[in-house]
Amino acid sequence: MASKMAQRLPSSKSGIQSIALVQQHEDQRHEGLATLQRLDCLHQVSTEELSRLLDLCVLRAFIPGATLISECEASRFLYFLLQGDVQLTSHDRDGHEILVGVLGRGDCCGEGQLFGNFFRRARVRANTVCYALQVALSDIQVLLPSLPTLRAALREIHRRRMVESTLVRVPLFSQLLPLERLALAALLQRSHYPRGSVIVRHGEPGEALCLIESGQIVVEQNGVTIASLQEGDFFGEIALLSDRPHNATVRAFTATDILALPAADFHWLLVQRPELEAQLRTVVEQRLNHNATMRTDQDRVRNLTLAVENGLLRGSHLLVRTPELCPPGCRICEDACASRHGQTRLHLNGVQIGDFDVVDTCRQCRIDAECVEVCPEDAIQWNDQGALIITDKCTGCGECVLACPYDAVTQKPLQPHQPNGPLWKLWSAMQQRLNNQRHIIPLDPVQYTYRADKCDLCHNYDNLACLSACPTGSLRLMPVEELFPL
């Protein structure tokens, strides 16, 4: 009897240990769930969704000065801060680093890439020793459609952060302190305008200062385009400062989000910060001079019109060549592109702007890209260098080819992979002999499949084939602002 009990004791001890481990795991999980529930950014998320989020979390520690997220590279992680604080910095349009804000316990960062192709990057750096829960974006993207309260919470954080970062990028407001920008952000009213819609009409009274959060707009007088503005720009200040109706029509060139500061709040802000009014009046004078020049300089009007019609302002850079530096009949750049990619992705003699030939190729549209919009597989995405790339998700449906207004996307035939080793040849011969004996009619040969193809600035290569092959330096990648200093 005693012998039998002795045999059972190890088993009983092992069972007790197993129960203890299970209980310990449950206690740790309960503590982790309670930690998530205490975070301000997640207080509206359901317990069930937080439980699923907890499965994705990894605890990380960062020393002061460590970078959690780089401004130059796409983040792969979402962070929930448990202890310590971090600072968000970004660069304005003049290249100056600006403090966007400071985040502490209960905040999160890195959510931008969860919501579309367009987001603003900022550097996130630890001010103190920080503890954070790290979640891989690739993991949470899979679950997010089934987590509606978490998705809503993160989207609201992203929306608020977009407003704050817009103010940072507006030179007029970048000098404000973070708390002042936060107070100003609360006064802004967001509106969305579809592509082609009128935002402000000539002759209407001025009711607000409009900041472009995302998108591009064109300014028209008497049916002629006189200016193009984009994210970080503003308009409507002339009507407010002069107390006169708008002197131009403003139209959304792409889908555009506008942040409007109502007239009453605008005038209150100028009373509080009179130096802003001085800056605004300088901008007004520059714009009035520009408008007067555009009315008399037909070449500038023509170039701007061509730029708008051909989408040359929709990306950050353009492939541009100086024809006088090219030898007669030279096509080395086109040939180099075709040699690398199987077919040429660029064509010379595109749009003539002054002394330059803007090569006909993908514009790398930063916002509201039609190809991205229609792709049923989400196969067209941004890479870290700011180019739109076609991923392996592409099925060759051709929707993007039809959608691109600049004919920059084509379809490329792909031959299915065929084994070519000695064993495969032996097997094929045996199959052919067997089919002949059985009098089997062979099936039709496998048809080509297709894949969308476009310039992606030689993604996954160390150089651009066209630029590297150009023997005279005629071809170069030029910032849009250099070609159109508007």
* Any domain includes 479: yes
Question: Are residue 324 and residue 468 in the same domain, yes or no?
Answer: yes
Query: Which pLDDT tens digit goes with each residue over 362-399?
Result: 999 987 899 998 999 889 988 867 789 999 889 899 99
Report whether pLDDT(416) > 90: no
Which candidate, 203, 201, 204, places its Cα nearest to that of 219? 201
263, 296, 329: which is the final residue of a domain?
Answer: 296
Distances (CA, A) of 21 to 14, 54, 453: 11, 19, 55
pLDDT band, residue 68 (cuts 50/70/90): very high
Has residue 457 been placed in a domain?
A: yes
Mean pLDDT value of segment 70-84: 86
Domain match, 60 and 96 both: yes
422, pLDDT greater than 70: no
Residues 290-301 pLDDT 10s: 888 887 888 888
Residue 305: is its pLDDT beyond 70?
A: yes
Tell me, what DSSP letter sits at residue 206? P
Mean pLDDT is lowest, of 103-112, 163-172, 419-428, 470-479, for 419-428
Same domain, 138 and 194: no
* pLDDT band for position 72 (cuts 50, 70, 90): low
Same domain, 88 and 158: yes
Q: How confident is the model at residue 2 (pLDDT cuts 50, 70, 90)?
A: very low
pLDDT of residue 8: 47
pLDDT at residue 6, rounded to an integer: 44
- pLDDT interval class at 159 (50, 70, 90): confident
Do 159 and 233 reside in the same domain of the chain?
Answer: no
**Mean pLDDT over the full length of the chain:** 85
Strand residue runs (E) in 377-423 = 380-382, 388-390, 410-414
Q: Using alpha carbons, list the distances in angstroms from residue 146 to 114, 157, 158, 160, 409.
A: 14, 19, 19, 23, 34
Least confident stretch, 46-55, 189-198, 221-230, 263-272: 221-230
As a whole number, mean pLDDT of residues 49-53 equals 93
CA distances from residue 385 to 312, 430, 439 in whole angstroms, order as listed: 18, 51, 57
204-224 pLDDT tens trace: 999 999 999 888 999 998 888
Q: Is residue 323 part of a domain?
A: yes
Looking at the structure, tell me whether residues 391 and 446 fall in a common domain.
Answer: yes
Taken as a whole, the chain contains a residue count of 486
The whole-number average pLDDT for the span 419-429 is 64
Query: Is 26 contained in some domain?
Result: no
Query: Residue 486 pLDDT more than 70?
Result: no
Find the helix or strand (DSSP H, E) in which 130 lies: strand 130-136
The CA distances from residue 416 to 220, 442, 451, in Å, are: 51, 18, 12
- Among 397, 399, 485, 409, smallest CA distance to 449 is for 397
Model confidence at 138: pLDDT above 80 = yes
Do residue 368 and residue 458 come from a single domain? yes
Provide the CATH number for the domain around residue 125. Answer: 2.60.120.10
State which of 111, 143, 173 marks the end of a domain.
173
Pick the most confident of 114-118, 272-276, 448-452.
272-276
The pLDDT score that the predictor gives to residue 36 is 92
443 or 481: whose pLDDT is higher? 481
pLDDT range class, residue 178, cuts 50, 70, 90: confident
pTM of the model: 0.72
Q: Is residue 307 in a domain? A: no
∠ Cα 340 343 344 (to 5°): 85
Domain residues for 224? 187-296
**Residue pLDDT, tens place only, 11-44:** 566 666 667 666 677 878 888 899 999 999 998 9
The count of domains in the chain is: 3
SS3 474: coil
Would you tell me how many other CB atoms lie within 10 Å of the CB of residue 249?
18
pLDDT at position 42 is 92
Residue 66 counted as domain residue: yes
In a domain, residue 213? The reply is yes
Whether residues 46 and 139 fall in one domain: yes
Q: Are residues 338 and 478 in the same domain?
A: yes
Q: Is residue 46 part of a domain?
A: yes
Residues 346 and 271 in one domain: no
Same domain, 262 and 384: no
Interval 324-349: pLDDT, tens: 999 999 999 999 999 999 999 999 99
Of 150 and 432, the structure prediction assigns the larger pLDDT to 150
Residues 322 and 459 both lie in one domain: yes
For residues 232 and 214, give the distance between their C-alpha atoms in angstroms, rounded to a whole number. 8
